[in-house]
Amino acid sequence: MTVSIEEKASFEFKGRMLMATVLYLKDLDSRSLHQQISQRLEDAAQWLLDAPVVVDVAHPEEASQVELLTAVDTLRGLGVNLVALARHPELDDQVAAMLGLGSINLANGRDVARSEPPARTGNSKAAPAAAAEDTLVVEQPVRSGQQVYARGDLIVLAPVSTGAELLAEGNIHIYSTLRGRALAGVRGNEAARIFCQDLDAELVSIAGHYRVAEDLPDAYRRKPVQMSLDGDAMSFADLMGKS
Amino acid sequence: MTKIVVVTSGKGGVGKTTTSAALATGLAMRGHKTTVIDFDVGLRNLDLIMGCERRVVYDLVNVINGDANLKQGLIKDKRVENLFILPASQTRDKDALSQEGVEKVLNGLRDMEMEYVICDSPAGIEKGALMAAYFADEAIVVTNPEVSSVRDSDRILGILSSKTRKAELGEGDIPARLLLTRYSPERVERGEMLSVEDVQEILAVDLLGVIPESQAVLNASNSGAPVILDLESDAGLAYADAVARFIGEERPHRFLTAAKKGLFGRLFGG
């Protein structure tokens, strides 16, 4: 190694944005984790191996250090590029350091999502109440190339064209034809729902779980539909009748 | 009071220039003092359709740059009173259009007491199209009954609702109406083409008119006489109806159903 004796800046801060994948561990059982992740890696090719991954534990209060350690080892063994652990009161930077990971605060906005258990059964549970002032009402058609973002619920009273995109942190209601994309719960709210008078969408998504047009169930095409998340899968129900 | 109308579509080749020429000519025939401006800088065409290509001295960019004054740039139509053409420059590109420059030209036309200024927009959603639309009071969106044209029109309708001066001043959307061109009822019946109802349902705007697919349009382009002058043709009549509706008259829509042709019609009709 050479030692520089010149007075010159040896570092520079670069304000670069970095995309990281958050791996949300609902279960720390290392055997099922190994099986499911390795299968996913086969399906999804390189994306998990290349991207830096932040581990977020679903139930930090129940997670023992041993479980965490084996889970992290399992993931590392599969070649997942772990960089940090999402911070929780129970999982502070000391725990992260013990696992050989950095500690990152993902809390902004996501706490809201996690404070409420995801609606499992669908219609029995009320959607989370977004503050009324965050509700956005759109009365004009949403045209191809336009994007509408609502911090709470989004209500659209006109057609949404192919190539248009609706994004909401809460629920999305469309009292007309949806031909474009609708993404509800974009910040992780798994209890968010999409309601639509006439479903002809390019893509629908709730909290990142999506379906493209090709995968929409035929029985609900061009019908009044509500969509919610049932576990990891999107569930469709008749908007009018009992589901 | 001058009304500025943009004729736009997003997609190319759907009939914007044909429509601009027909609309401007139709309005002038009804006695309204009208100018039609070609905004397609670099791909000049309107002068051909209007049959004045041999009389072009100055163009829109010359007037914007002050190389010529507005009166020198305007070409007076020889067939119809009250009709003026401001051609595009063929040697420049769309960057030659500045907002201030376009505004200056339009203000000049206001001072000349034009009743209508028809802005023939280039295809695309880039600078030329945005400049043509920016100062508009009203829009006519030209669409062919096929999916890619409809989607592009939808895109343009979205842009019109945010990128015009009225929208920027918070005065709301400019009124936009749909003109469906190259419509062939026979092909709609065979399911090869979207129907008027399909297109209207997708675009959700008022219908100004439906222009049937017609040989007369091609003939008109070739001869440099706007098709509206040919009142023997279905396309000419459909444009005349559209002009009437444009200025507020009620006209039923025609040419929406396939004509039942007899043997001679099949042999000789067109």
3-class DSSP state of A174: strand
**Alpha carbon distance B82, B33 (integer Å):** 5
Nearest CA in chain A to B200: A159
The per-residue pLDDT for A123 is 38
B151: nearest CB among A140, A163, A177: A163
Residues making up chain A, counted from first to last: 243
- pLDDT interval class at A11 (50, 70, 90): confident
β-strands A82-86, A102-104 pairing = parallel
The per-residue pLDDT for A7 is 60
The per-residue pLDDT for A28 is 80
**Does the pLDDT value for residue B201 go beyond 60?**
yes
Domain that includes residue B176, residue range: 3-247
Q: Is B257 annotated as a binding residue?
A: no
With respect to residue B37, please indicate whether it lies within any of the assigned structural domains. Answer: yes
Q: Which residues in A lie closer than 8 A to residue B202 (C-beta atoms)?
A: 159, 161, 179
B155: nearest CB among A144, A158, A159: A144
- pLDDT interval class at A121 (50, 70, 90): very low
**Alpha carbon distance A70, A48 (integer Å):** 19
- pLDDT interval class at A5 (50, 70, 90): low
**Alpha carbon distance A186, A23 (integer Å):** 16
* Cβ of residue A158 closer than 8 Å to a chain B Cβ: yes
Q: Which pair of tokens denotes residue B199?
A: 């297109």
User: The domain spanning residue B131 has which CATH number?
Assistant: 3.40.50.300
CB A162 within 8 A of CB A181: no
Min CA distance, B80 vs chain A (Å)? Answer: 39
CB A157 within 8 A of CB A175: yes
* Cβ of residue B173 closer than 8 Å to a chain A Cβ: yes
With respect to residue B257, please indicate whether it lies within any of the assigned structural domains. Answer: no
Residue with token string 């576990």: A231
**Does the pLDDT value for residue B69 go beyond 70?**
yes
* Cβ of residue B172 closer than 8 Å to a chain A Cβ: no
* Cβ of residue A162 closer than 8 Å to a chain B Cβ: yes
Nearest CA in chain A to B201: A159
Q: Do B151 and A179 make contact, defined as CB atoms within 8 angstroms?
A: no
Q: Which amino acid is at B212?
A: P
What would the mean pLDDT of B245-256 be, rounded to a whole number? 94
B91 or A137, which is more confident? A137
In chain B, how many domains are there? 1
Percent above pLDDT 70 for chain B: 96
Min CA distance, A204 vs chain B (Å)? Answer: 19
With respect to residue B259, please indicate whether it lies within any of the assigned structural domains. Answer: no
Nearest CA in chain B to A200: B202
The per-residue pLDDT for A116 is 34
Q: Which residues in B lie closer than 8 A to residue A142 (C-beta atoms)?
A: 158
**Alpha carbon distance B24, A50 (integer Å):** 59
- Nearest of B101, B98, B94, B115 to residue B73 by alpha carbon: B101
**Does the pLDDT value for residue B265 go beyond 90?**
no
- Nearest of A112, A107, A83, A108 to residue A96 by alpha carbon: A83
**Does the pLDDT value for residue B186 go beyond 50?**
yes
Q: Which residues in B lie closer than 8 A to residue A198 (C-beta atoms)?
A: none
* Cβ of residue B155 closer than 8 Å to a chain A Cβ: yes
Q: Do B204 and A141 make contact, defined as CB atoms within 8 angstroms?
A: yes
3-class DSSP state of B227: helix
Q: Which residues in A lie closer than 8 A to residue B161 (C-beta atoms)?
A: 140, 143
- pLDDT interval class at A126 (50, 70, 90): very low
With respect to residue B262, please indicate whether it lies within any of the assigned structural domains. Answer: no
The per-residue pLDDT for B243 is 98
From residue A69, give the alpha-carbon distance in Å to each of A25, A28, A55, A101, B127: 13, 10, 12, 11, 57
What would the mean pLDDT of A140-150 be, rounded to a whole number? 92
Cα R_g (chain A), whole angstroms: 21
With respect to residue B82, please indicate whether it lies within any of the assigned structural domains. Answer: yes
B204: nearest CB among A144, A158, A163: A158
With respect to residue B189, please indicate whether it lies within any of the assigned structural domains. Answer: yes
Q: Which pair of tokens denotes residue B146?
A: 């096929």
- Nearest of B146, B150, B261 to residue B203 by alpha carbon: B150
With respect to residue B267, please indicate whether it lies within any of the assigned structural domains. Answer: no
**Does the pLDDT value for residue B195 go beyond 90?**
yes
B154: nearest CB among A140, A143, A177: A143
Q: Do A163 and B154 make contact, defined as CB atoms within 8 angstroms?
A: yes
**Alpha carbon distance A33, A184 (integer Å):** 28
Q: Do A163 and B204 make contact, defined as CB atoms within 8 angstroms?
A: no
- Nearest of B96, B85, B17 to residue B55 by alpha carbon: B85
Q: What is the interface size between A and B, counted as CB pairs within 8 Å?
A: 36
Alpha-helical segments (H) within chain B: 16-29, 46-49, 60-65, 70-73, 99-111, 127-134, 147-160, 165-168, 185-189, 196-203, 215-223, 234-246, 263-268
A122-127 own/partner pairs: CB under 8 Å, 24+ apart: A122/A228, A122/A230, A122/A235, A122/A237, A122/A243, A123/A228, A123/A237, A123/A243, A125/A191, A127/A170, A127/A171, A127/A191, A127/A192, A127/A193
A162: nearest CB among B151, B161, B201: B151
Q: Do A158 and B151 make contact, defined as CB atoms within 8 angstroms?
A: no
Q: Determine phi and psi for A154, rounding to 5 degrees.
A: -125, 125
CB A83 within 8 A of CB A54: yes
Axis-axis angle for helices B234-246, B16-29 (nearest 10)? 70
The per-residue pLDDT for A120 is 36
What would the mean pLDDT of B118-123 be, rounded to a whole number? 97
What would the mean pLDDT of B202-207 be, rounded to a whole number? 95
β-strands A225-230, A194-199 pairing = antiparallel
CB B51 within 8 A of CB B36: no
Q: Which residues in B lie closer than 8 A to residue A177 (C-beta atoms)?
A: 201
The per-residue pLDDT for A17 is 53
From first CA to last CA, the distance across chain A in angstroms is 70
The per-residue pLDDT for A133 is 63
B155: nearest CB among A163, A177, A179: A163
Model confidence, pTM? 0.69
Q: Is B12 annotated as a binding residue?
A: yes
Averaged pLDDT of chain B: 93
Axis-axis angle for helices B196-203, B147-160 (nearest 10)? 30
With respect to residue B254, please indicate whether it lies within any of the assigned structural domains. Answer: no
Q: Which residues in A lie closer than 8 A to residue B151 (C-beta atoms)?
A: 144, 161-163
